[in-house]
Amino acid sequence: MTIKSMHHVGITVTDLAAAVAFFEELGMELEGKAHMEGEFVDGVIGLDGSRSEIAMLQTPDGRYRIEFSQFETPRSIDGSSHAPIHALGLRHIAFVVDDLDDTLARLRPHGAEVVRNVETYQDVLRTCYVRGPEGILVELGEYFS
């Protein structure tokens, strides 16, 4: 048996509102928010007495989701949110955009910073990495038709 699909990627943040605003500006849509606590949640995530707020965002086509969690208790620990791309573990999320320059202009007021350069690969793609809220690395790519 194989998996049916991927449901979501989870990211823990200290400022849920900033993360939601950034990714909504990118074009993701808020699917819902919820308060999470209790035996069921503790049993799933392995933390006793946890309380958190979550927000689920989805891509416009509804295929992909990111779940952002902000913990009230226990207090979040620093997981090297500004680690470089070659550090072990989950490092970036990639999105295809219609207009890279416009996307960058809209994200800058939300704290997005290009990691180094916007680069062009042959006549196929313009791409770059940006750091968003909480140091989340986001790869943006505009493909040429």
C-alpha distances (whole Å) from 3 to each of 6, 64, 102 are 8, 15, 36
Q: Indicate the average pLDDT of the chain.
A: 91
Query: Residue 42: enclosing H or E segment and its boundaries?
Result: helix 39-45
Residues 25 and 67 occupy one common structural domain: yes
The end-to-end CA distance of the chain, in Å, is 37
Q: Which residue has the higher pLDDT, 37 or 85?
A: 37
Residues 60 and 108 occupy one common structural domain: no
Q: Is residue 25 part of a domain?
A: yes
User: If you average pLDDT over residues 93-104, what whole number do you get?
Assistant: 95
Residues 104 and 64 occupy one common structural domain: no
Range of the domain at 20: 9-73
Residues 68 and 96 occupy one common structural domain: no
User: If you average pLDDT over residues 104-109, what whole number do you get?
Assistant: 96
pLDDT at 79: 76
What SS3 state is found at 140? strand
Q: Which residue has the higher pLDDT, 35 or 47?
A: 35
User: If you average pLDDT over residues 94-105, what whole number do you get?
Assistant: 96
Lowest-pLDDT range, 3-17, 32-46, 81-95? 81-95
pLDDT at 1: 66
One DSSP character per residue, 72-137 reads: EESPP----TT--TTSSS--EEEEE-S-HHHHHHHHGGGT-EESS--EEETTTEEEEEEE-GGG-E
Here the CATH number for the domain that contains residue 41 is 3.10.180.10
pLDDT at 110: 96
Count: domains in the chain: 2
Residues above pLDDT 90, as percent of the chain: 77
pLDDT at 16: 96
pLDDT at 3 over 70: yes
